Amino acid sequence: MNKDIAIHLKNITKEYPGVVANKNVDFQVFKGEIHALVGENGAGKSTLMKILYGIEQPDEGEILINGKLEQINKVETAINLGIGMVHQEFTLVPSFTAPENIGLGQEPRNSQGIIDWKGLNKLVVNIAEKYGFKVDPSLKMIDASVGVQQRTEILKTLYRNANILILDEPTAVLTPQETDELFTVIRTLVDEGKTVVFITHKLREVMEIADRVTVMRAGEVQGVSETKNTSIAELASQMVGREVFLQVKKDDAKPEEEILNVEDLWVHDARGLLAVKGVSLNIRKGEIVGIAGVEGNGQSELVEALTGLRKTSQGSINYLGENIASSSPKNIRRKKIAHIPEDRTNTGLNTQLSIWENLIGNSYFRKPLSTNGIFNLKKIATHSNKLKEDFDIRAPNISLKVKSLSGGNQQKVVVARELSEDPILTIASQPTRGVDIGNIEAIHEQLVQMRDDGGAVLLVSAELDEVMAVADRVGVMYEGQIVKWVNPKEVDQSQMGLYMAGIKD
């Protein structure tokens, strides 16, 4: 490999009010390599990359690009230096097509200064072809899948002649298939001479795609290694700062009486199409039932129906002997059913509110948190601080807006709230999406603890590993139906893959 250094961040320190996001960070990327930057949520990865991309200014430290000292105090400078960044949250105009988004602000113009749309489309299609991906120039981003949106973001950087691409947690939002496609794209990019910085906290992906990896924890670099000389376990312990159990530790379930019995449930989706087609399942006290399956096979609608967020069309949901189908979310919540939703930022949280305001969402109306409709702020503070401690929510104080927390800590706020009111049934949907290893472990432990304390748990997840490790029984969902029930100890991944593709036996 060519050992020219493309990026050298030297001794970078960056402090936000109350938190040191980067502390004397030294970060080197060789030209032409795929360099993974890993670390738990809040480790300071995004901050470091924002500094490189000119969005944030370091308090201390230097940036060398291709060996030359550079002052990157705005994004334009970074772009001119050939740096391109795809953010964790996409920055596309939903009503624009891919070429319109890609060319935005730098459209080719004809001699009268009028935008040459045809030329733009051609240019975009050419770039896409060069790197081996397809674009549909007429598809608006609002109708595009997440994978397509992400490729559009990547094309946007290539259109601006990026040589160094920073991808901030690109796989957090992707299905396994889309992840594979992304990896193909990344490999092509590197073959074409680009350098890629790939941020993630999924270590399996690091081992699969990266040449080298830098691990960060709490704003500091913990180590740099070549992937061929390290292991997932080693990286995980560097990341978390202690040994990590990649397997969920739990005893066999001791299920007791039935809590939930869903019979022949049919549910329509937002567009009025049938999404759940005759699902039956039951959950007993003291067990975790998992629902596996590729996303978009009716899992979301199933969960929404169970939690009252969506009307059912047919069938019954019997909870402790009472049919709660099409009941209101309020009624369902008051019956001690907790819900960790898949959409954290818009449904599970109001990110504009403070941590404590989010933590009391299911308990604000009860004593002693409020009396006769008036808050007891002291009691609320005690309650919230206890949850913050118990669930290890990393924040300087509970008055901080949830918006300013990292994704993993945001999820901990949701989990803490939902598990706090002694639920009888807990419905967890994609509970560890976008959450780092250390916290995934914690959330899994908490779900198992719920079970061992006599709760019933429904775990819906597109992460096969997760369902297989945590659940005691697993149903595979395909096209709105549960096509197979399995004991996770008795099947292997490839068999599950077939069920997930709708092949029954």
Partner 1 sequence: MEKFSFKDVLVTFAGLLITAFIAWVLISATGNNPSEVALYLYEGGFKGTRNIANSLYQATPLILTAVATLISFRVGMFNIGINGSMYVGALYAGWAGYKFTTLGHFTHVTVCILIGMLVGAAWMLLPALLRVYAGVSEIISTIILNFVAVLFVSYMANGPFRADPIAPATPRILETAELKQIFPNSQFNTGFFIAVFVAILAHFVLNKTTFGYELRSGGDGLVGMYPSRFSSYLGIPSDRSAIIGMLISGALGGLAGAIEVLGAVRYFFQELEFNQGFDGILIGILGKLEPIGSVIASLFYGAIKNGGFYVDYKTDVSREIIIVLISILIFFVSAQKMVKGLEKYPLIKKLDNFFSRKKM
Handedness of CA 282, 470, 361, 406 (dihedral sign): negative
401 binds partner 1 (CB under 8 A): yes
* Residue 469 structure tokens: 């490790």
171 binds Mg ion (CB under 5 A): no
* Residue 389 structure tokens: 């401690």
Residue 188 sits at the vertex; the CA angle it makes with 184 and 194, to the nearest 5 degrees, is: 130
Mark the segment that binds ligand ADP (CB under 6 A) among 16-24, 187-195, 251-259, 356-364.
16-24
Q: DSSP class of residue 345? A: I
Q: Which amino acid is at 261?
A: N
Mapping DSSP to helix (H, G, I), strand (E, B) and coil, where does residue 389 land?
A: helix
CA distance 29 to 5: 6
22 binds Mg ion (CB under 5 A): no
- From the list ligand ADP, Mg ion, partner 1, none, partner contacted by residue 105 (C-beta under 5 to 8 A by kind): none
Tokens 């376990």 belong to residue? 233
Residues 352-411 that bind ligand ADP (CB under 6 A): 404-406
358 binds Mg ion (CB under 5 A): no
Among 27, 34, 41, 337, binds ligand ADP (CB under 6 A): 41
Residues 44-73 that bind ligand ADP (CB under 6 A): 44-47
Q: Name residues whose C-beta falls within 8 Å of residue 295's C-beta, 6 or more positions apart in sequence.
A: 175, 462
Between 34 and 199, name the residue whose CB sits nearer to ligand ADP: 199
Q: Name residues whose C-beta falls within 8 Å of residue 159's C-beta, 6 or more positions apart in sequence.
A: 102, 103, 106, 123, 124, 127
59 binds partner 1 (CB under 8 A): yes
Residue 405 CB, nearest approach to ligand ADP (Å): 6
Q: In this structure, are residues 75 and 197 in contact, taking their beta carbons and an 8 Å threshold? A: no
Residues 316-345 that bind partner 1 (CB under 8 A): 328-334, 339, 341, 343
Least Cα distance to 285 among 425, 165, 148, 183 occurs for 425
Residue 365 sits at the vertex; the CA angle it makes with 363 and 370, to the nearest 5 degrees, is: 105
Mark the segment that binds partner 1 (CB under 8 A) among 258-266, 278-286, 362-370, 472-480.
362-370
Among 22, 46, 121, 214, binds Mg ion (CB under 5 A): 46
CA distance 297 to 121: 34
Between 253 and 414, name the residue whose CB sits nearer to Mg ion: 414
Handedness of CA 148, 154, 158, 160 (dihedral sign): positive
- From the list ligand ADP, Mg ion, partner 1, none, partner contacted by residue 47 (C-beta under 5 to 8 A by kind): ligand ADP
Mark the segment that binds Mg ion (CB under 5 A) among 40-48, 268-276, 318-326, 345-353.
40-48
**What does the binding site for ligand ADP look like in residue numbers (CB under 6 A)?**
16, 19, 21, 39, 41-47, 404-406
Kindly list the residues in this chain that would bind Mg ion in the complex (CB under 5 A): 46
- Enumerate binding residues for partner 1 (CB under 8 A): 15, 17-18, 57, 59, 307-309, 328-334, 339, 341, 343, 346-350, 352-353, 356-357, 360-362, 364-365, 370, 373-375, 377, 381, 384, 397-399, 401
